[in-house]
Structures are given as structure tokens and as C-alpha cells.
């Protein structure tokens, strides 16, 4: 008992120290933002407004349409602000578990498994009627500090059963004639979960840090190494999923809420390269290794070919991403007795996935009526196919087919 | 062992820095859209957001995501 208490105390102290460090770093960035003499050696993002219409559809019945507007505006030679508003219109975003049939028998049709968290439905499954909204609002500041660039961003997301507040800070320092850049990023978020079907409220906090090292080797070859570490604590489960425990010997089933550990440490290392193939084309190649203390390990391979036409006024891209993942140590497709930790979440299952991407970017000067080079039109289509080791707990499909589409424009204001 | 890894990492970085041969007047070709890792970071962030909530991994993608309870 004492050992467990000591262990928990160590975790609390560790989290406390990390939070202190984060807040201290953010404070330093804030203070220096207003004290350091501004230099013209680095460039701020251009004043611009960007509007995107994004959509997501999959064969599990989830549809999301989400327009987004973002802007950046310079306040002085060394300071720029940016903002972002996004609205998600969702069907079947989260499943609402139902426990009417907690002690129902195997093979009976009594009771419900799940229905969407915002709907008034009385049966499981999904349809195409939007039943959930999420709003996300962001505001940030970018400040040049001599050769370095610092940024601070605050994000707030709200939906009917979940809210999240995020503070992100980053510091980017170039050296060696700006051929080498080191970037440190720290993100902390505080989430609140208040499911409609429960009377309780649960908190989650996430502290992530990223160290990115970018090296320009030549005008034809750039490489980037990114190290990521994240600590999650609090309520990490999904209250809308249902774990079914089936005992075939005594012919009964019981339904439980998933039970997750209340902490998770995640680490990843990614390496990617950008190679110029000719004056008008390039190839991006990447690899990422990920591991965490829930025993998930994954390998991600990616490639993106880009080709420009009409003197870089039209950019076309085609890419592929392949992903392998081992399952979490407590995940089971089916339980035969209640266990300390239980999950049926497909993203904790063994996964093999592929994603195919096609994108284009067209400068407005090529569009006959508009003929404005400050305008840029963007479009992207992604096909995502995920195969899990066992069928999904609710849809009973083991293959997910998702279509992601996005189109929009960016207009340079200065 | 951990100290050796950190030392190797620092030496590798030092080695890479020593490899810098691009002079400031040669950098124009690096501003070409094909030589930028993430030309549209907002769009990329949205894509990563969707994928991360359908897989168990996160991070080291050149993009941050989060903020909704769909995870």
C-alpha cells in the first residue's frame, strides 16, 4: 500500500514539476515578447486570410462538415497576431452507451448497445442527420527575437459534452547561416468531460513537448528530426463505449463502462527528408516510430511527390502513408470476465492502415476572370483505409473506409 | 547507455551543422513551394487530427492536433 502511495506521489510530483516548467517557459516567452529589440533578419508570416471547407465521411456512418476561417496580421515589424475559428457539424461523433440491459442474457435482443451522444434516438446505429456541433477558437501571437522566432497560442474548444483549453508555446532558433534550425515546442491542455448520460464530470490534462531539428544540407536536400514526448493524466477513457463481458459457460453477458489507466506516457521520433528531383518536382520521405506505456508500438512510413507547373503557379501532389500498430496491453475484442482495465476502442487494437492523398494548389493569376496572384486556391482529397485485428465493438466492421476532402482559398493582404 | 545515446545525438547534430554549404544568396530556390515541408500547415493539422483519433499514436508528425472529445 505504501509502495503504491509513494508511486502515485512520485507521479504527482513529476507532473507538478513539468507543469511548473511549462508555465515558467510560457512566462519567459511572454515577457521576452515585449522586451527584446526587434530585428528584421527573420520574416513574419504574411498578412493573410484563409477559408477552408473540410469534410469527412466514413463507412461507420460518421459525417463531419467543418468550415474554418483563419487569419494572420502583422502589428509591427516584429510582431504578428493570428486567429482561427472552426465549426464542426457532426453526425455520430460519439456513441452514447446504454445500460438498460446490464444483466441481459446472451443472444437476446433486449436493451441497447449505444446511440449518438447528442441525439434523442432510442436505438443504436447512425443516420445522416447532423446531431452534434463543436466550436474551436484560437488566438496567437508571433514575435521575432533577433534571429529567433517565438510564438504563443491559446485554443479553446467547446461541444455539448466536452471542453478543452490549450496553451502552446514555441521557440525557433536558426544558426549556422540559417542552415540549421532548432525548435522547442510545449503544449498543455486541460480537458473537461461531462457526458450527457452520466452525472459526473471528469478532467484530463495533457502536457506535450517537441524538439525539432531541421538541417538544410544543400539547395536540393533538407532533413528534419522531430522528438516528441507527452504525458496524459486523468480521465482517458471513452464514456460512450460499452465493454461486453460474455461468459459462455454460464450463458450470461454483462455490460461495463471501459476502464483505462489514469495516466499515459507517449514518445515518438520522426525523421523526414525533402529531396529535389528536378527543378519542378520533389519527393518527401518520412518514417516515425512511436511507443507508449500502454504497450502500443507503431511504425509509420510516408511519401509525397510534388510537381509544379506554370512557373510554380500550379502545384500538384500525390502521397501515400502506411501505418502498423500493435494493440494496447489491456485491449481485448471480447472479455470473459471483468478485469482491472478494459477497452474495446478500435484505435487501441492492432492496426494496419493506408492513406492516399492527392492535392493541388492553384495561384489566382492563372484563373482567367480573377487574375490575382495574391489569391491561392487549395484542394485536397484523402482516402484512408484502416484494418483492425478484430471487428469494431459497435459497427462490427473490421475495415474503416474514410474520405476526407478539403477546398478553400488563401488571400494575401499585403 | 543513455548518456552515450545523448552524446551520439549531439555529435550527429554537430556533424550536420558542419555540413552546411548553402550560402544566403543561394537560398532563393529553397523558397519554392516544392521545397517546403508543410506548405499548408492548417490543412495538414486538420488531416492529422482525423487520423490521430483513429489510431493509437500521436506526435512527431510536424503538426499538432487535439481539442475535441472525439478521442
The string of DSSP letters for A122-184 reads SSSS--SS--EEEEEEEEEEEEEETTEEEEEEEEEEEETTEEEEEEEEEEEEEETTTTEEEEE
- Which chain A residue is nearest to residue B33, measuring alpha carbons? A312
> Is the minimum CB–CB distance between A205 and chain B shorter than 8 Å?
no
Sign of the C-alpha dihedral computed for residues A170, B57, B6 and B18 taken in this order? negative
> Is the minimum CB–CB distance between A159 and chain B shorter than 8 Å?
yes
- Rounded CA separation A129/A148 (Å): 48
- Which chain A residue is nearest to residue B44, measuring alpha carbons? A380
Residue-wise pLDDT for B9-56, tens only, equals 776 766 666 666 788 788 888 888 899 998 888 888 888 888 888 999
pLDDT of residue A306: 97
Distances (CA, A) of A190 to A15, A44, A222, B34, B60: 13, 29, 36, 37, 21
Residue-wise pLDDT for A171-201, tens only, equals 999 988 889 999 999 999 999 998 877 888 9
A262: burial class by Cβ within 10 Å (0-12, 13-18, 19+)? middle
Helix (H, G, I), strand (E, B) or coil at A17: helix
Cβ contacts of B57 on chain A, cutoff 8 Å? 266, 268, 288, 290, 296, 298, 300, 323, 325
Helix (H, G, I), strand (E, B) or coil at A390: coil
Choose from B14, B57, B64 for mutation: most chain A CBs within 10 A: B57
A211: burial class by Cβ within 10 Å (0-12, 13-18, 19+)? middle
Place of cell 445500460: A99
Residue-wise pLDDT for A20-54, tens only, equals 565 555 555 444 443 333 334 467 889 999 999 99
pLDDT of residue A401: 96
Place of cell 509525397: A304
Higher pLDDT, A129 or A225: A225
Task: List all residues 6 or more positions away from B46 whose beta carbon is below 8 Å from its beta carbon.
Answer: A52, A54, A66, A68, A406
Place of cell 507521479: A11
Indicate the average pLDDT of chain B: 77
Partner residues linked to A247 by β-bridges: A252
Residue-wise pLDDT for A252-295, tens only, equals 788 898 999 999 999 999 999 999 998 899 999 999 999 999 99
User: With bands split at pLDDT 50, 70 and 90, how would you rate the model's confidence at A239?
Assistant: confident
- The answer to whether A400 and A59 are in contact (CB under 8 A) is yes
Helix (H, G, I), strand (E, B) or coil at A88: strand
> pLDDT exceeding 70 applies to what percent of chain A?
80
Assigned C-alpha cell, A392? 469494431
Indicate the average pLDDT of chain A: 84
State the nearest Cα–Cα gap between B71 and chain A, in angstroms.
Answer: 8
pLDDT score of A374 more than 50: yes
Task: List all residues 6 or more positions away from A210 whose beta carbon is below 8 Å from its beta carbon.
Answer: A183, A184, A185, A186, A187, A226, A227, A228, A229, B59, B60, B64
Place of cell 474495446: A344
Cβ contacts of B51 on chain A, cutoff 8 Å? 355, 384
User: With bands split at pLDDT 50, 70 and 90, how would you rate the model's confidence at B6?
Assistant: confident
Q: Inter-chain contact B29–A219, Cβ cutoff 8 Å?
A: yes
pLDDT of residue A42: 65
Q: Inter-chain contact B58–A210, Cβ cutoff 8 Å?
A: no
User: Torsions phi, psi of B49, nearest 5?
Assistant: -55, -45
Residue-wise pLDDT for A2-19, tens only, equals 444 455 555 555 555 655
Q: Out of A217-231, A322-336, B2-16, pick the least confident.
A: B2-16
User: Torsions phi, psi of A280, nearest 5?
Assistant: -120, 10
pLDDT score of A353 more than 80: yes
> Is the minimum CB–CB distance between B19 and chain A shorter than 8 Å?
yes
pLDDT of residue A177: 84
State the nearest Cα–Cα gap between A413 and chain B, in angstroms.
Answer: 17
Following DSSP, what letter does each residue of A362-377 receive, concatenated? EEGGGSTTT--TTEEE
Q: Inter-chain contact A50–B42, Cβ cutoff 8 Å?
A: yes
Q: Out of A98-102, A152-156, A220-224, A363-367, pick the least confident.
A: A98-102
Strands annotated E in A21-147 = 48-58, 63-74, 79-91, 95-97, 114-116, 132-145
pLDDT score of A299 more than 70: yes
**Mean pLDDT calculated for residue range A371-397:** 93
pLDDT score of A74 more than 60: yes
The secondary structure of B10-66, three-state, reads HHHHHHHHHCCCCCHHHHHHHHCHHHCCCCCHHHHHHHHHHHHCCCCCCCCCCCCCC
**Mean pLDDT calculated for residue range A73-95:** 84
Q: Inter-chain contact A164–B51, Cβ cutoff 8 Å?
A: no
Rounded to the nearest 10°, the torsion over CA A75, A76, A78, A80 is: 10
Residues 39-58 of B with CB under 8 A from A: 39-40, 42-43, 46-47, 50-51, 53-58
> Is the minimum CB–CB distance between A104 and chain B shorter than 8 Å?
no
State the nearest Cα–Cα gap between A30 and chain B, in angstroms.
Answer: 21
pLDDT of residue A16: 53
**Domains delineated in chain A:** 2-412 (2.40.160.40)
Residues 72-101 of A with CB under 8 A from B: 84, 88, 93-94
Q: Inter-chain contact A189–B64, Cβ cutoff 8 Å?
A: no
Place of cell 467547446: A158
- Rounded CA separation A327/A271 (Å): 23
> Is the minimum CB–CB distance between B15 and chain A shorter than 8 Å?
no
CB nearest B35 (choices: A222, A292, A351): A222
Amino acid at each position: 500500500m505504501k509502495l503504491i502511495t509513494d508511486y502515485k506521489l512520485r507521479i504527482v510530483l513529476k507532473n507538478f514539476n513539468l507543469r511548473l516548467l511549462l508555465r515558467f517557459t510560457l512566462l519567459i516567452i511572454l515577457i521576452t515578447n515585449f522586451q527584446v529589440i526587434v530585428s528584421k533578419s527573420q520574416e513574419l508570416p504574411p498578412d493573410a486570410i484563409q477559408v477552408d471547407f473540410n469534410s469527412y465521411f466514413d463507412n461507420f456512418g460518421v459525417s463531419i462538415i467543418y468550415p474554418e476561417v483563419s487569419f494572420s496580421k502583422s502589428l509591427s515589424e516584429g510582431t504578428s497576431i493570428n486567429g482561427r475559428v472552426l465549426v464542426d457539424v457532426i453526425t455520430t461523433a460519439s456513441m452514447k452507451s446504454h445500460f438498460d440491459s446490464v444483466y441481459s442474457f446472451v443472444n437476446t435482443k433486449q436493451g441497447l448497445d449505444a446511440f449518438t451522444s447528442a441525439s434523442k434516438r432510442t436505438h443504436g446505429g447512425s443516420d445522416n442527420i447532423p446531431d452534434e456541433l463543436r466550436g474551436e477558437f484560437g488566438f496567437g501571437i508571433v514575435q521575432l527575437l533577433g534571429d529567433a522566432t517565438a510564438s504563443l497560442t491559446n485554443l479553446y474548444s467547446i461541444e455539448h459534452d466536452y471542453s478543452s483549453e490549450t496553451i502552446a508555446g514555441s521557440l525557433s532558433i536558426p544558426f549556422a547561416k540559417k542552415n540549421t534550425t532548432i525548435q522547442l515546442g510545449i503544449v498543455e491542455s486541460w480537458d473537461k468531460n461531462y457526458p450527457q448520460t452520466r452525472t459526473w464530470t471528469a478532467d484530463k490534462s495533457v502536457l506535450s513537448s517537441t524538439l525539432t531539428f531541421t538541417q538544410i544540407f544543400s539547395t536540393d536536400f533538407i532533413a528534419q528530426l522531430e522528438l516528441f514526448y507527452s504525458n496524459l493524466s486523468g480521465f482517458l477513457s471513452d464514456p460512450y463505449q460499452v465493454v461486453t463481458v460474455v461468459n459462455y459457460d454460464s450463458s450470461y453477458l454483462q455490460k461495463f463502462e471501459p476502464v483505462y489507466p489514469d495516466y499515459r506516457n507517449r514518445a515518438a521520433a520522426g525523421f523526414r527528408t525533402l529531396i529535389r528531383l528536378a527543378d519542378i518536382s520533389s519527393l518527401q520521405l518520412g518514417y516515425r516510430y512511436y511507443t507508449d506505456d500502454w504497450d502500443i508500438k507503431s511504425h509509420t512510413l510516408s511519401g509525397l511527390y510534388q510537381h509544379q507547373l506554370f512557373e510554380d503557379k500550379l502545384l500538384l501532389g500525390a502521397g501515400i502513408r502506411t501505418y502498423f500498430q500493435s494493440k494496447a496491453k489491456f485491449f481485448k475484442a471480447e472479455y470473459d470476465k471483468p478485469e482491472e482495465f478494459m477497452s474495446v476502442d478500435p484505435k487501441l487494437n492492432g492496426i494496419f492502415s493506408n492513406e492516399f492523398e492527392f492535392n493541388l494548389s492553384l495561384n489566382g493569376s492563372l484563373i482567367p476572370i480573377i487574375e490575382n496572384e495574391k489569391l491561392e486556391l487549395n484542394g485536397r482529397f484523402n482516402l484512408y483505409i484502416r484494418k483492425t485485428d478484430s471487428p469494431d465493438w459497435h459497427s462490427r466492421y473490421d475495415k474503416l473506409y474514410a474520405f476526407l476532402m478539403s477546398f478553400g482559398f488563401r488571400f494575401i493582404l499585403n | 547507455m543513455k548518456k552515450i545515446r545523448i552524446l551520439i545525438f549531439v555529435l550527429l547534430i554537430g556533424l550536420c551543422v558542419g555540413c552546411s554549404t548553402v550560402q544566403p544568396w543561394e537560398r532563393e530556390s529553397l523558397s519554392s513551394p516544392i521545397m517546403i515541408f508543410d506548405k499548408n500547415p492548417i490543412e495538414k493539422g486538420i488531416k492529422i487530427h482525423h487520423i490521430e483519433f483513429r489510431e493509437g499514436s500521436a506526435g512527431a508528425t510536424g503538426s499538432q492536433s487535439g481539442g475535441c472529445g472525439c478521442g
